[in-house]
Amino acid sequence: MNEADIQSIKQRFGIIGNSPKLNHAIEVAAQVAPTDMTVLITGDSGVGKESFSKIIHQLSRRKHGQFIAINCGAIPEGTIDSELFGHEKGSFTGAYEARKGYFEVTDKGSIFLDEISELPPGTQARLLRVLEYGEYIRVGSSKVQKCDVRVIVATNKDLLEAVQRGKFREDLFYRLNTVPIFVPPLRDRENDIILLFRKFSSDFSEKYRTKPLSLTTEAQELLIRYPFPGNIRQLKNITEQISVLEMNRLLTAETLSRYLPRISTVPAVIDKYDDLNTAPSERDILYKVLFDLKKDVNDMKIFITDMQKNRNYDKEVDDKYPGLFETAAEPATASNTEQDQPVLIDIPVKDGSTFEINSVNDKNIDVQDITHIAEDDDSLSLEKKEKELIIKALHKNNNKRKYAAHDLGISERTLYRKIKQYEIDD
């Protein structure tokens, strides 16, 4: 496929940008479209994965058939089988009449299943049957029905990792991953950011009957450097917000910065990863930090225990930590006889930090108390920390689950499940 063909597809489907990764994704979508192969579209949330599903459908022999886009994460677990495969009258409470499912409606057409990782295990088995044999059974029926549907799926999660954790069927993953298409995030399309901003600015100026926005050189540099975790969707929303609220149509870097949300700092270890599929999540990084902390405290516990067992440790320890076991030699004064003055003793930890102990002298040091401090860390559990994070997020957002889920980096549905699991009273 030559460059002219790619540009033609961009104009037809309203895709803005000249990024090599974007062009490659369009080229793969156009090449696979005439076939009936299953396509897995991956990429961050907000990169425009649904647009690629439309490219595949419109360039296929099924373009005159039905096309339906389904968000699997938005359908309750108890009704998703009925939505996808239909149900018979009386098959469950509220089923007053028989209903066709999406696979029956889109026969001879295409169906796009977004957030495929949110499918429950039972539905995954049903979907695999459809992909393998083109067969399905309505809820409450025993009759096998046939369908001829092109299946396109998308996810912003690492499905292979979900397979390893037992959250996604391995056979279904390899069946869906026939032709993978990766849609690059906006942070990897620096030269496209300004083009998209101008396009959105023009659209909103026409919509709200205002002059288009323009950027100073410094504002353009700021916009390019911003990571845009929400990708194209976030850029579009920010542009619309500025178009409505800002009176001065020439944006400086200072003005633009007021509309760009601050990004929470995450350790730079993710820089070595090429894309979302291999990068760890913020929660994974937090867990690693907690494990490292636990290991450091346990090392300190072993150190203290060894000191207890060794009768001749005084000189060795005193060389390392002068004054640790030294009795106060100053004569008693009115200032220090009223109450013992605590001495802060720093026990070094593996990573270079220190652990403080309150003591007066060697007679008042209770090594067992120090050991208890370390032993308390043994109760450290991921579930406990996760519960604490959820409670903090709920309090921060006044118990609004939608915003709490956004802060935690999980779906609202997952947050609801966690609240029930940990019996959190929100």
Which domain-ending residue is among 184, 208, 232? 184
Please indicate, yes or no, if residue 423 is contained in any of the structural domains. no
Let me know whether 176 and 93 are in one domain: yes
Out of 156, 184, 212, pick the residue that ends a domain: 184
Residue 279 resides in a domain: no
The answer to the question of residue 269 being in a domain is no
More confident position, 213 or 386 = 213
pLDDT of the residue at 93: 84
In this structure, the answer to whether residues 179 and 209 fall within a common structural domain is no
- Return the pLDDT at 284: 61
DSSP character at residue 352: S
* CA–CA distance, 177 with 169 (Å, rounded to integer): 12
Which one has a higher pLDDT value, 383 or 119?
119
Residues 161, 75 share a domain: yes
- For residues 251 and 357, membership in a common domain is answered with no
Query: DSSP for 305-323?
Result: HHHHH-TTHHHHHHHHSTT
Which domain CATH number covers 209?
1.10.8.60
Q: Count structural domains, the chain.
A: 3
What mean pLDDT comes out for the span 287-311? 66
Instruction: Assess if residue 270 is contained within a domain.
Output: no
Task: Give the pLDDT of residue 377.
Answer: 47
Structural domain contains residue 413: no
Q: Are residues 13 and 150 in the same domain?
A: yes
Q: Which of 20-34, 258-272, 391-405 has the lowest mean pLDDT?
A: 258-272
Domain shared by 348 and 371, yes or no: yes
- Confidence (pLDDT) at 422: 83
Position 127 scores a pLDDT of 96
Q: Are 281 and 409 in contact (CB under 8 A)?
A: yes
- 129 neighbors 136 (Cβ within 8 angstroms): yes
**Do residues 134 and 60 both lie within one domain?**
yes
Distance CA 390, CA 387 (A): 5
172 and 223 housed in the same domain: no
Q: Is 426 in a helix, a strand, or coil?
A: coil
Q: Give tens-digit pLDDT for 226-238.
A: 999 999 999 999 9
Q: What is the pLDDT of residue 283?
A: 58
SS3 370: helix
Q: Is residue 128 part of a domain?
A: yes
Q: Which pLDDT score is estimated for 325?
A: 47
Pairing of strands 343-348, 354-359: antiparallel
**For residue range 166-205, what is the model confidence (pLDDT) as tens digits?**
999 999 999 999 999 999 999 999 889 999 999 999 999 9
pLDDT exceeds cutoff 70 at 401: yes
pLDDT-derived band at 326 (thresholds 50, 70, 90) equals very low
Please give the pLDDT value at position 264.
59
Domain-terminating residue out of 241, 257, 273: 257
Domain assignment present for 272? no
Find, among 381, 385, 390, 380, the residue nearest to 420 by Cα: 390
Cα–Cα dist 296/290, whole Å: 10
Q: Which residue has the higher pLDDT, 195 or 309?
A: 195
- Residue range 12-36: average pLDDT? 95
pLDDT at 303: 67
For residue 262, tell me if it sits in a domain: no
Q: Which domain holds residue 85?
A: 3-184
How far apart CA 45 and CA 157 sit, in angstroms, is 9
Residues 146 and 197 in one domain: no
In order, the DSSP letters of 333-349 are -HHHHSSPPPEEEEEE-
121 token code pair:
């295990």
- Asked whether residue 176 falls in the same domain as residue 45, the answer is yes
Q: For the chain, what percent of residues have pLDDT higher than 70?
A: 74
Report how far residue 155's alpha carbon sits from residue 44's, in angstroms, rounded to the nearest whole number: 8
Q: Which residues contact 199 (CB under 8 A, 6 or more apart)?
A: 16
Structure-block tokens of residue 414: 């997952």
Mean pLDDT of the chain: 81
Q: Residues 139, 19: one domain?
A: yes
> Do 247 and 171 sit in the same domain of this protein?
no
